[in-house]
């Protein structure tokens, strides 16, 4: 059967934790007739929502992995990519965003736009994802969808326009008014599957008319036809839909839908809006990088007769081996055909090709351009690009931030040790921000990531999915060393007693570099160091940066200039100059007033205004700087910059300070100088450790 691409949608449901995303997804699956009963997220019946495939997520009521699920709604094929809402899993969110064509931004009608919604929305903006908003939980006490719409405008800068109005709020929430058709929509039956469309109730008609006009004014900006029709007073529903669609695709308009997924209200109308207003795969520009042509950008064409280009965006360990989720951008991938992985430069054969419905799967014979599918048993890492017919493309390389925190882990027994190795191998393939290595000094296994919670989740997964029990060490911040002033060097490396000698002299200076980690400048005139040895000098300096002498962390921001030196016709060699450069650096580094840098996090906290003082205090106690606070009546938020080393255990502290009513998000901002007192402590600790190691 041929797929009609114009009826394909790849959407993400993105939201803040607890705004009801998983429940909404569950309802969508239900109404699309793919699952037969509705389960609650926190599992009253112990089954749990279908999208949450991982145990841990079930327990915490949050969704971590971005599984893709295919559903069909009124003849439209919708692939739902479930995106995690927590900032600590940013890379997962970002990779999911890469493959989406549109998104539904779920917001809680009571809490509104929260700190993490802001982060997620910013990421969507970066990937140019058109969005529609769904104001959920209209049945809750304090529900106020208009307030939420205004927050979309004020806090996120959206041109948000309500295309629906609620019929009743809180416990009186019965249905919605469709402002396009100007009809009332009720959701009857035990699971809200029977839709009843009636006239708008008398008492709401006046307001609905007013909001209808407002909506028309806002959306007519995107369609001349609609504007003309408005003047001639022959506006049709299709003209309005078309205008909303244009505005949404250009990301200049965010239509706002509403309802309550939990109470089975407004989900079907949201699905209609999704298929109507969000783009099909051919309407999105996708760019690949041509690796044979200096990474030149190539525009991909969503057509079937072009060679395949696909991106592996997610790996999962299933019962039957590794499952690789792919997004096909170009061509049709057929079962049994051959693909080429441009990163590993290996060819492989497409074995089983499937479509996923949460934990159930369906075998398919081909995956169309624009579609999302999964492959079995392909050895690859996530982020890899698969191509065909001699193409050598890579999908736009994604920005992978360097890890800011590390943790030592130790298996409790032999069995755990084997399982731990398997788990670590898997995790580092799945998530580029998760890294692991064995520290040669302590012989401990170290895991690195983007935050405390990020690593905690992996430790939990090791235990649950791989039965690997591990002891964890104290979290360790990824410090850096840097120089704060210029220092000259003039260093001679000489070993001329017996055997073949070594000789090299390098002179010049090192100075702080504000942009970039390292720069090497050669200002040798008259060949005092022969040109052939210059790369060896560069290498010698560069290798010295790997480990600073203050606390053993990498050195960043150094510019090295060499302007003099000396060589020996017989005894000079690459090795001699490398050693000389390293010696020169070590010598100059001490005099360049080295300092320690630490990761500074951008922290956003919000909570009831009554706890404002406690929140201010919690930042102050953590060497934090309050950048701003915003008071919105009963709710307040605070933006601050706090060293990562002070943020350990912050969630617990915040919970106890605010009776669990405040929450926070954080992300890496920059490296900042460590204050003197703390710097001295770190140096003393390092020296102590060095002594111990020497004594061993």
Partner 1 sequence: MVRSELNKRGPLRVFENSIHGGLGKGHIGVLASKKGVGKTACLVHIATDKLFRDRHVIHVSFSQKVDHIINWYEDIFKEIAKKRNLENAVDIHDEIIKNRVIMNFNSQGTTINQVVRSLKAMMTDGNFKADSIIVDGYNISDISQDDFNKLKTFIKKENIELWFSVSLVGENPVFNKMGIPEDLENRIDDLDVLITLKYEGNHVSLQVIKDHDVLEPKDMTLKLDPKTMLIVRNQ
Closest distance between partner 1 and the C-beta of residue 616, in Å?
3
Q: Collect contacts of 687-693 with beta carbons under 8 A, ≥24 apart.
A: 693/441
Q: Which is nearer to partner 1, 444 or 614 (CB)?
A: 614
Closest distance between partner 1 and the C-beta of residue 548, in Å?
21
Chain-centroid distance, C-alpha 681:
34
**DSSP string of 612-624, one letter each residue:** HHHHHHHHHTTT-
Closest distance between partner 1 and the C-beta of residue 638, in Å?
9
Q: Which is nearer to partner 1, 134 or 611 (CB)?
A: 611
Q: Which is nearer to partner 1, 151 or 382 (CB)?
A: 151
Applying the rule CB under 8 A, the residues between 143 and 182 that interact with partner 1 are: 154-155
Applying the rule CB under 8 A, the residues between 583 and 622 that interact with partner 1 are: 612-614, 616-617, 619-620
Q: Which is nearer to partner 1, 291 or 669 (CB)?
A: 669
Q: Which is nearer to partner 1, 254 or 382 (CB)?
A: 254
Closest distance between partner 1 and the C-beta of residue 383, in Å?
32
Q: Which is nearer to partner 1, 186 or 616 (CB)?
A: 616
Task: Tell me the backbone φ, ψ of residue 408, rounded to 5 degrees.
Answer: -90, 140
Applying the rule CB under 8 A, the residues between 370 and 409 that interact with partner 1 are: none
Task: Tell me the backbone φ, ψ of residue 435, rounded to 5 degrees.
Answer: -130, 155
What pairs with residue 188 in β-bridges?
194
Element (H, E) at 98: helix 90-99
Q: Which is nearer to partner 1, 585 or 611 (CB)?
A: 611
Residues with Cβ within 8 Å of 667's Cβ and at least 6 positions away in sequence, in order, are 87, 90, 119, 601, 602
Tell me how far apart the alpha carbons of residues 510 and 513 are, in angstroms, rounded to a whole number.
9
Binding mask 63-102 for partner 1 (x = CB under 8 A): ----------------------------------------
Q: Which is nearer to partner 1, 316 or 598 (CB)?
A: 598
Residue 563 has a CB neighbour count (10 Å cut-off) of: 16
What six digits make up the tokens of 167? 């019929």
Tell me how far apart the alpha carbons of residues 447 and 458 are, in angstroms, rounded to a whole number.
9
Helices 267-277, 237-249: crossing angle, 10 deg rounding: 70
Binding flag, residue 127, partner 1 (CB under 8 A): no
Binding mask 494-523 for partner 1 (x = CB under 8 A): --------------------x---------
Question: CA neighbours within 13 Å on the CB side: how many for 596?
Answer: 23
Q: Which is nearer to partner 1, 421 or 626 (CB)?
A: 626
Give how many residues touch partner 1 by CB under 8 A. 20
Applying the rule CB under 8 A, the residues between 258 and 287 that interact with partner 1 are: none
Tell me how far apart the alpha carbons of residues 375 and 512 are, in angstroms, rounded to a whole number.
49
Closest distance between partner 1 and the C-beta of residue 605, in Å?
12
Instruction: Report which of 533, 523, 546, 520 is spatially closest to residue 578, judged by C-alpha positions.
Output: 533
Q: Which is nearer to partner 1, 19 or 618 (CB)?
A: 618
Closest distance between partner 1 and the C-beta of residue 632, in Å?
5
Closest distance between partner 1 and the C-beta of residue 602, in Å?
13
Q: Which is nearer to partner 1, 353 or 654 (CB)?
A: 654
Closest distance between partner 1 and the C-beta of residue 207, in Å?
22
Closest distance between partner 1 and the C-beta of residue 518, in Å?
20
Triad 322, 328, 331: Cα angle to 5°: 130
Closest distance between partner 1 and the C-beta of residue 646, in Å?
14
Q: Alpha-carbon torsion 16, 18, 20, 22, what sign?
A: positive
3-state secondary structure of 439: coil
**DSSP string of 39-87, one letter each residue:** --TT-TTS---TT--SHHHHHHT---S--EEEEEETTEEEEEEE----G
Binding mask 615-644 for partner 1 (x = CB under 8 A): -xx-xx----xxxxxxxxx-----x-----
Residue 650 has a CB neighbour count (10 Å cut-off) of: 19
Closest distance between partner 1 and the C-beta of residue 123, in Å?
18
Q: Which is nearer to partner 1, 329 or 611 (CB)?
A: 611
Tell me how far apart the alpha carbons of residues 474 and 591 are, in angstroms, rounded to a whole number.
33
- In our burial notation (b when 16+ CB lie closer than 10 A, e otherwise), range 10-45 reads bbbbbbbbbbbbbbbbbbbbbbbebbeebbebeeee
Q: Which is nearer to partner 1, 123 or 260 (CB)?
A: 123
Closest distance between partner 1 and the C-beta of residue 362, in Å?
47
Closest distance between partner 1 and the C-beta of residue 613, in Å?
4
Using CA atoms, how far residue 489 sits from 286, 508, 510, 567, 585, in Å, is 51, 5, 8, 16, 7
Using CA atoms, how far residue 177 sits from 83, 205, 214, 392, in Å, is 29, 10, 15, 51
Residues that bind partner 1 (CB under 8 A): 154-155, 514, 612-614, 616-617, 619-620, 625-633, 639
């Amino acid at each position: 059967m041929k797929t009609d691409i114009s009826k394909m949608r790849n959407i993400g449901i993105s939201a803040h934790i607890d705004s009801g995303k998983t429940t909404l997804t569950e309802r969508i699956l239900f109404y699309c007739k793919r699952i037969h009963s509705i389960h609650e997220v926190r599992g009253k019946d112990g089954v749990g929502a279908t999208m949450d495939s991982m145990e841990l997520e079930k327990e915490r009521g949050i969704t971590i992995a971005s599984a893709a699920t295919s559903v069909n709604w009124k003849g439209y094929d919708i692939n739902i990519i479930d995106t995690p809402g927590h900032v600590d899993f940013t890379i997962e969110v970002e990779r999911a965003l890469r493959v989406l064509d549109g998104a539904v931004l779920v917001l809680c009608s009571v809490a509104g736009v929260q700190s993490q919604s802001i982060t997620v929305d910013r990421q969507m903006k970066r990937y140019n994802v058109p969005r529609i908003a769904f104001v959920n939980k209209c049945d809750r006490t304090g529900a106020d969808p208009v307030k939420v719409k205004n927050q979309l405008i004020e806090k996120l800068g959206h041109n948000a326009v309500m295309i629906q109005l609620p019929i009743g709020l809180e416990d009186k929430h019965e249905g919605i008014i469709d402002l396009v058709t100007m009809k009332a929509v009720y959701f009857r039956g035990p699971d809200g599957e029977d839709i009843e469309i009636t006239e708008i109730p008398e008492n709401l008609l006046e307001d609905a008319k007013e909001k209808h006009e407002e909506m028309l004014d806002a959306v007519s900006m995107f369609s001349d036809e609609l504007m003309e029709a408005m003047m001639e007073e022959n506006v049709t529903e299709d003209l309005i839909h078309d205008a909303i669609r244009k505005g949404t695709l250009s990301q200049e308009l965010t239509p706002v839908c509403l309802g309550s997924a939990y109470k089975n209200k407004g989900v079907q109308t949201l699905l209609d809006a999704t298929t109507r207003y969000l783009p099909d795969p051919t309407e999105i520009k996708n760019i690949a990088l041509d690796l044979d042509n200096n990474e030149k950008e190539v525009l991909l064409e969503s057509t079937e007769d072009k060679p395949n280009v696909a991106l592996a965006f997610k790996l999962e360990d299933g019962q039957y081996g590794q499952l690789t989720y792919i997004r096909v951008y170009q061509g049709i991938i057929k079962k049994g055909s051959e693909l080429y992985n441009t990163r590993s430069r290996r060819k492989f054969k497409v074995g089983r090709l499937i479509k996923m419905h949460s934990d159930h799967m369906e075998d398919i014979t081909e995956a169309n351009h624009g579609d999302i599918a999964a492959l079995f048993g392909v050895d690859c890492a996530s982020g890899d690009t698969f191509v065909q017919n001699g193409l050598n493309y890579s999908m736009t390389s994604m920005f992978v931030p360097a890890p800011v925190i590390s943790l030592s882990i130790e298996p409790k027994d032999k069995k755990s040790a084997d399982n731990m190795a398997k788990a670590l191998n898997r995790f580092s393939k799945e998530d580029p921000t998760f890294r692991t290595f064995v520290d040669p000094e302590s012989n401990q296994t170290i895991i690195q990531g983007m935050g405390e919670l990020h690593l905690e989740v992996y430790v939990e997964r090791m235990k649950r999915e791989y039965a690997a029990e591990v002891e964890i060490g104290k979290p360790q911040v990824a410090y850096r060393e840097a120089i704060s002033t210029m220092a000259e060097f003039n260093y001679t490396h000489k070993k001329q007693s017996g055997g073949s000698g070594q000789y090299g002299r390098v002179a010049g200076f090192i100075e702080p570099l504000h942009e970039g980690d390292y720069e090497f400048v050669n200002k040798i005139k008259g060949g005092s160091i022969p040109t052939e040895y210059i790369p060896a000098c560069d290498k010698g300096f560069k290798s010295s940066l790997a480990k600073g002498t203050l606390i053993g962390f990498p050195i960043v921001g150094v510019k090295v200039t060499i302007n003099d030196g000396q060589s020996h016709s017989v005894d000079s060699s690459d090795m001699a100059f490398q050693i000389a450069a390293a010696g020169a650096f070590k010598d100059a580094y001490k005099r360049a007033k080295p300092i320690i840098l630490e990761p500074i996090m951008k922290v956003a906290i919000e909570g009831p205004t009554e706890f404002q003082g406690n929140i201010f205090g919690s930042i102050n106690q953590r060497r934090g700087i309050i950048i701003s606070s915003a008071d919105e009546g009963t709710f307040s938020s605070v933006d601050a910059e706090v060293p990562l080393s002070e943020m350990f255990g912050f969630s617990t502290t915040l919970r106890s300070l605010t009776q669990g009513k405040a929450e926070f998000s954080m992300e890496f901002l920059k490296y900042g100088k460590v204050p003197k007192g703390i710097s001295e402590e770190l140096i003393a600790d390092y020296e102590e450790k060095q002594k111990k190691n020497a004594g061993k």
